[in-house]
């Protein structure tokens, strides 16, 4: 059993003349036909709709029990889909050992030169991101350092521990500026 159908873009542009298609043509076959009609060099994935119903498997399944009008041409509306190629992360670029306990919080400085990490070992560590080495170990907290935040100008970094004590540090010297 065949039907006459034409591909129409979602903005109403026809992609060639009407075609005789078998009613059991699949979505993958529709993609092959449309890519050939549009002369696409790379295969582009598409969504297809008939009367606002998405073609998920075949035209026959999409139409279901609806009466086919063999006198008229069936419009198959198509929408191109973006092709995303996500590459997996395959390697670690750096490892910066130093804390004696788990790192609970960390924050990059706004100027991207430093990283501050707070740990269960009650220290705040300041790291030089250019050399990927520890710059300073800031001690004084008596409990886990749970939060780290930078000033917008990157001239100060604040750390807060589990009991609520907040300390402000100078990232260039590692010295305590205030509590």
**pLDDT tens column, 18-34:** 999 988 999 999 999 99
| Burial status of residue 141 (CB atoms within 10 A of its CB: 0-12, 13-18, 19 or more) | buried
Domains delineated in the chain = 2-80 (3.10.20.90), 103-178 (2.40.10.480)
What per-residue confidence (pLDDT) applies to 67? 64
Task: Calculate the average pLDDT of the chain.
Answer: 87
Please state the rounded mean pLDDT for residues 29-51.
92
What per-residue confidence (pLDDT) applies to 59? 87
Q: Where are the beta strands (DSSP E) in 51-132?
A: 53-54, 74-80, 103-108, 114-119, 124-128
> How many C-beta neighbours within 10 Å does residue 148 have?
23
Q: Quick one: pLDDT band at residue 158, thresholds 50, 70, 90?
A: very high
Q: Cβ distance 160 to 142 under 8 Å? A: no
Q: Is the pLDDT of residue 68 over 70?
A: no
Q: 70-125 pLDDT, tens per residue?
A: 678 889 999 998 777 677 777 777 777 777 788 889 999 999 889 999 988 988 99
């Amino acid at each position: 059993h065949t039907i006459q159908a034409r591909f129409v873009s979602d903005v109403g542009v026809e992609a060639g003349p009407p075609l005789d298609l078998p009613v059991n043509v699949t979505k993958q076959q529709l993609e092959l036909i449309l890519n050939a009609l549009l002369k696409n060099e790379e295969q582009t994935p598409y969504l297809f709709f008939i009367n606002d119903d998405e073609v998920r498997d075949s035209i026959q399944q999409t139409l279901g029990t609806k009466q086919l009008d063999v006198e008229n041409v069936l419009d198959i509306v198509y929408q191109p889909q973006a092709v995303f190629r996500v590459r997996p992360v395959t390697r670690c670029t750096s490892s910066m050992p130093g804390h004696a306990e788990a790192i609970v919080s960390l924050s990059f400085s706004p100027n991207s030169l430093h990283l501050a990490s707070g740990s269960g070992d009650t220290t705040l560590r300041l790291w030089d991101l250019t050399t990927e080495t520890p710059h300073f170990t800031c001690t004084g907290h008596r409990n886990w350092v749970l939060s780290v935040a930078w000033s917008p100008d990157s001239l100060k970094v604040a750390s807060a521990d589990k009991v609520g004590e907040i300390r402000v540090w100078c990232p260039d010297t590692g010295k305590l500026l205030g509590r």
